A = this chain, B = another copy of it.
Amino acid sequence: MIIQKEIVLKPQKRGFHLVTDEILVQLPELNNISVGIAHIFIKHTSASLTINENADPTVRSDMETYFNKVVPETDAKYYDHTVEGTDDMTSHIKSSILGSSVMVPITNGRFNLGTWQGVYLCEHRNVGGSRRIVVTVVGE
């Protein structure tokens, strides 16, 4: 069985945000899947998805600190793609480092994540707006 849904995630400020529940609430069909995988894909090149710690919010703020350090906006002077500002090319770079999709196993109608895992929306733009994702579930 294949289920596919396009979901809109609400706008977030620049940074890393836990969105597992925002996705799950729009995916009641998951209950019918006893075993499978879910592909969660973001249709943008200046925001990304990753899986990381779901408990302490400082993990999310520290992630933002780290990626701003390793992909600094002050480097915009080395780039040619800068029409939309100093957060333009840095957002594309962060997006490819972190990735445009995550893949989660499904077991007994639920995401089979580790106890401490959650899905993050990584918003790399200062003003990103709402973000569209496509969730495709392949299961039985």
Which A residues are within 8 Å of any B CB, using their own CB?
2, 4, 35-37, 39, 41-45, 50-53, 56, 58-59, 61-63, 65-66, 69-71, 75, 78-81, 89, 92-93, 95-105, 107, 112-117, 120, 132, 134, 136, 138-140
* Residues in B neighbouring A35, C-beta threshold 8 A: 2, 4, 136
**CB proximity of A10 to chain B, nearest CB, Å:** 18
| Complex: A113 Cα to B81 Cα, angstroms | 21
Chain B min CB distance to A80 (Å): 4
CA distance A120 to B104 in the complex (A): 19
Expressed in whole angstroms, the Cα–Cα distance for A70 and B116 within the complex equals: 25
| A62 and B43 contacting across the interface, CB-CB below 8 Å | no
The answer to whether A66 and B71 have CB atoms under 8 Å apart is yes
Shortest distance between the CB of A102 and any CB in chain B (Å): 7
Asked if A45 meets B53 with Cβ closer than 8 Å, knowing A4-B105, A59-B92, the reply is yes
User: What's the Cα separation between A71 and B67 when bound, in Å?
Assistant: 10
CB distance from A41 to the nearest CB of B (A): 5
Question: When the two chains form their complex, are residues B43 and A113 in contact, meaning their CB atoms are under 8 A apart?
Answer: yes
Q: Which residue of B has the minimal Cβ distance to A51?
A: B100
A92 CB contacts on chain B under 8 angstroms? 52-53, 59, 62-63
